[in-house]
Amino acid sequence: MKYSKEDIQKLDKRFRANFVNSLSGFKSLNLVGTTDGETYNLSIFNSVFHLGADPALLGMISRPNSVKRDTIEIIRRTGFYTLNAVCEEIYMKAHHTSARIEGSEFNHCSLKHEIKKNFTAPFVEESSLKIAMKFIREIPIIENNTIMIIGEIQEVYFDEVAIDKSGYLHLEKLNILTGVSLEGYYKPELLSRLKYAKADKEIEKI
Amino acid sequence: MKYSKEDIQKLDKRFRANFVNSLSGFKSLNLVGTTDGETYNLSIFNSVFHLGADPALLGMISRPNSVKRDTIEIIRRTGFYTLNAVCEEIYMKAHHTSARIEGSEFNHCSLKHEIKKNFTAPFVEESSLKIAMKFIREIPIIENNTIMIIGEIQEVYFDEVAIDKSGYLHLEKLNILTGVSLEGYYKPELLSRLKYAKADKEIEKI
């Protein structure tokens, strides 16, 4: 079936949000941890993406006028945050952080905060892949009043069974999930890893 | 185990690229179709992300100095491109488009181009989710010389069995895959869809 731009504009607002949010494909799922020095905040983001390996940069998109505003304001003010991959063991608790919660989402959603040496922002103890991030810059997306946050990776923590000798991290060995729209949670199964592609060669599995 | 920023900087270049590319989590996989009026070009992107539902906007990241430069130059010049989700049936062919190919990647990788009425850029016939896109703007990411492309959804095509009455698109019914780094291809299995979260209520499945 076909939806045109005009069809999409005429849709009921919730239907449209769910539909358009499904179109970009499977999404990464991360819990963003911050603190203002008093409260430990936690908020689920499905828009973290790779920006570059050297320097090691990640981007993420935020709506300034949403529930998530606290997170962005604290990132701006303190300069630091954590990314904690959503794994199978905690995905329902992770989803709960999207609610309008007074006080610490860690407490409210029964997730443990973890403080590491020389880093102020809190990690999620139960997460299997934790990244300490330094805020670099934000870029306004004027078309819809969202902002893109650029951050630099400071530290990465995970179980060593997940890393391959080539540097590849088997996210499936860390039970990490992927999402669709704002409500679908999926467990990915590895089909194959493919070797670097060359024009005149058949594609080979690793 | 722990990798610090300094550890990451000291890594072998290929190891670092594979490692850091794994850290953002599971990625969407799309084939970007373009034409300069002569050749039909196709190129795999693992960086398409949701920007907003109204207007319906998608972003993607590109390296201006990579193999993919043709795609970006044609998008700038013509103003249009297509996004075609990578599904299980074509993932090895899709991976092949990342090679340095002379002439049309459609021909070289045995994928069929499909031209729809009133839209110049070519779709991938075999893809189960096809989106016609209009180029809106590009944003330079000065930190690493990449660019972010913002585009607006013009038309969307998929089999109607995949859409729920709420607007949710079951990407698993379209056999759409997700990726890790530049080499891992995964098939996601639906764990559950979760209802909109409220602070004072338990999380419920849909």
B37: number of Cβ within 10 Å: 9
Block residue for tokens 């594979």: B18
Q: Do B157 and A100 touch (CB under 8 A)?
A: no
Task: With beta carbons less than 8 A apart as the criterion, state whether A31 and A126 touch.
Answer: no
One-letter amino acid identity for A143?
E
Can you list the residues of chain B whose pLDDT is less than 50?
A: none
**Contact assessment for residue A53 and residue B16, using Cβ atoms and an 8 Å cutoff:** yes
Q: Helix (H, G, I), strand (E, B), or coil: what is residue B64? A: coil
CB–CB contact B168 A156 (8 Å): no
Contact residues on chain B for A147, CB-CB shorter than 8 A: none
Residues in contact with A117: Cβ distance below 8 Å, sequence separation at least 6, in sequence order: none
Helix (H) or strand (E) holding A143, with range, is: none
Tokens of B201: 């209520």
Minimum distance, in Å, between the CA of residue B45 and any CA atom of chain A: 11
Tell me which residue in A181, A185, A199 faces B168 most closely, judged by beta carbons. Answer: A181
Calpha distance B51→B62 (Å, rounded): 16
φ, ψ of residue B35 to 5 degrees: the values are -150, 145
Residues of B numbered 8-47 whose beta carbons fall under 8 angstroms of chain A's beta carbons: which are they?
8-9, 11-30, 46-47
Q: Which residues contact A67 (CB under 8 A, 6 or more apart)?
A: A43, A98, A99, A100
Q: Does B96 touch chain A (CB under 8 A)?
A: yes
Q: Spell out the residues 6+ positions from residue A52 whose beta carbon is closer than 8 angstroms to its own.
A: B20, B141, B143, B144, B146
- Helix (H) or strand (E) holding B50, with range, is strand B49-53
Collect all residues of chain A within an 8 Å Cβ-Cβ radius of residue B146.
Answer: 51-52
Cβ separation B49–A50 shorter than 8 A: no
Q: What is the pLDDT of residues B138-188, one digit of tens each?
A: 999 999 999 999 999 999 999 999 999 999 999 999 999 999 999 999 999
Q: How far apart are CA B179 and CA B90, in angstroms?
A: 14
Mean pLDDT by 10 residues, chain A (206 residues): 97 97 98 96 97 96 70 95 98 96 95 96 98 97 95 98 98 98 98 95 94
Q: What tokens appear for B101 in the block?
A: 């190919």
Q: Which two tokens stand for residue A91?
A: 């995905």
Q: Quickly tell me which residue has 């990578």 as its tokens.
A: B86
Which of chain B's residues have a Cβ under 8 Å away from the Cβ of A157? 1-2
Amino acid letter for position B61: I
Confidence (pLDDT) at B63:
78
Q: pLDDT (tens digit, 9 = 90+) per residue, A129-174?
A: 999 999 999 999 999 999 999 999 999 999 999 999 999 999 999 9
Mean pLDDT over the full length of chain B: 95
CA distance B48 to chain A (A): 6
ipTM of the complex: 0.96
Rounded CA-CA distance A160/B56 in Å is 40
Q: Under a CB-based contact definition with an 8 Å cutoff, are residues B83 and B95 in contact?
A: no
Q: Which residues does B6 contact at the CB level (< 8 Å), separation at least 6?
A: none
